[in-house]
Amino acid sequence: MRRIQVTLLATVALAFGCANNNNQSEVENPDAAGDVNAGDGAEGDAAAGGGRRGASQTGARGASSPNKAAKKLAAKNPVREDGDTAEAPKREGRETPHGLLAAYYPIDGSTESMPDFTTIGDAEGVAIVDAVDINGRFPNLPESLGNTFAAALMGSLNVTQGAEYNLCLTSSDGAQLALDGTLIVDNDGVHKAEEKCELVYMDPGEYQLNIIYFNVTDEIALTFSWDIGGAGATVVPSTALFKPEGADDLVK
């Protein structure tokens, strides 16, 4: 798991450490460093725009200029078109580039806020997560971790049309979401399943996506959803998520 840990030292520290220092005072897109194998999803793959749960792809409704309340994001990479993917997954049984790479870490049961992923140590397990809609156990979460663990989900998100997106994390316990190195949604702390959202205007393009999570209670829950142009909240579909290049090679 050493390779994964090296990646997180670069990508998670940038995505969340720098963003916390800025305290979300402004939205910017700093250059993101990291190993392409597990950190920079934009170098690997990204997916199509929004949609209802289970839908493959829909356009954004109500595309327009952002209102004053919405932060504006501009992607560092262009929209990934259909068929514009990295090399096909090498691992037998993996036929899709969609989803996110998840890495799991042990933490102390007294943890009350998001742990520092730059000092968290080596991952004890990895998995591919499709749509982030978890109520219960994460896929391939090591039994040894029980309900006390942290997780880092890495990949990229593709937006096909400029529109206002209400991005939401529902989690128990804490979770944070960053796009292109900017902290967008902060749902930190020990609490029952609770939703936090942030309204942003997103230009079309492919965004590096990082979601970090921790749990120390019996309830395990993490959902990443969006509302595109006021069309209604839905879970972000797997077709809108792409694994980092080489992710399948890291999963046993």
Q: Which domain holds residue 199?
A: 2-81+97-250
Contacts of 120 (CB under 8 A, 6+ apart): 8, 105, 107, 150
Of 176, 242, 153, which is closest to residue 205 (Cα–Cα)? 242
Structural domain contains residue 124: yes
- Tally of CB atoms within 10 A around 246: 20
Structural domain contains residue 88: no
29: its two tokens: 């897109």
CA distance 207 to 82: 16
Of 117, 83, 85, which is closest to residue 248 (Cα–Cα)? 85
Structural domain contains residue 181: yes
Specify the number of domains making up the chain. Answer: 1
Our separate counts of H helices and E strands in the chain read 4, 13
The DSSP secondary structure of 86-130, one letter per residue, reads SSPP-STT----BSEEEEEEE--TT--S---TTSS---SEEEEES
Phi and psi at residue 96, to the nearest 5°: -130, 145
CA distance 242 to 99: 5
CA distance 144 to 149: 10
Structural domain contains residue 90: no
What does the pLDDT read at residue 25?
40
CA distance 88 to 83: 11
The enclosing domain of 227 has a CATH number of: 2.60.120.260
Contacts of 149 (CB under 8 A, 6+ apart): 104, 105, 106, 107, 141, 214, 215
Of 243, 214, 226, which is closest to residue 58 (Cα–Cα)? 226
Which residues of the chain fall short of a pLDDT of 50?
A: 2-3, 5-6, 8-10, 18, 21-64
**Residue range 145-188, pLDDT digits in tens:** 999 999 999 999 999 889 999 999 999 999 999 999 999 999 99
Structural domain contains residue 89: no
Structural domain contains residue 177: yes
Q: What is the DSSP letter of 248?
A: H
Structural domain contains residue 123: yes
Phi and psi at residue 11, to the nearest 5°: -80, -45
Structural domain contains residue 206: yes
**CA 192 to each of CA 135, 170, 171: distance values in angstroms, whole numbers, following the listed order:** 12, 10, 7
Residue 134: Cβ-neighbour burial (10 angstroms; 0-12, 13-18, 19+):
buried
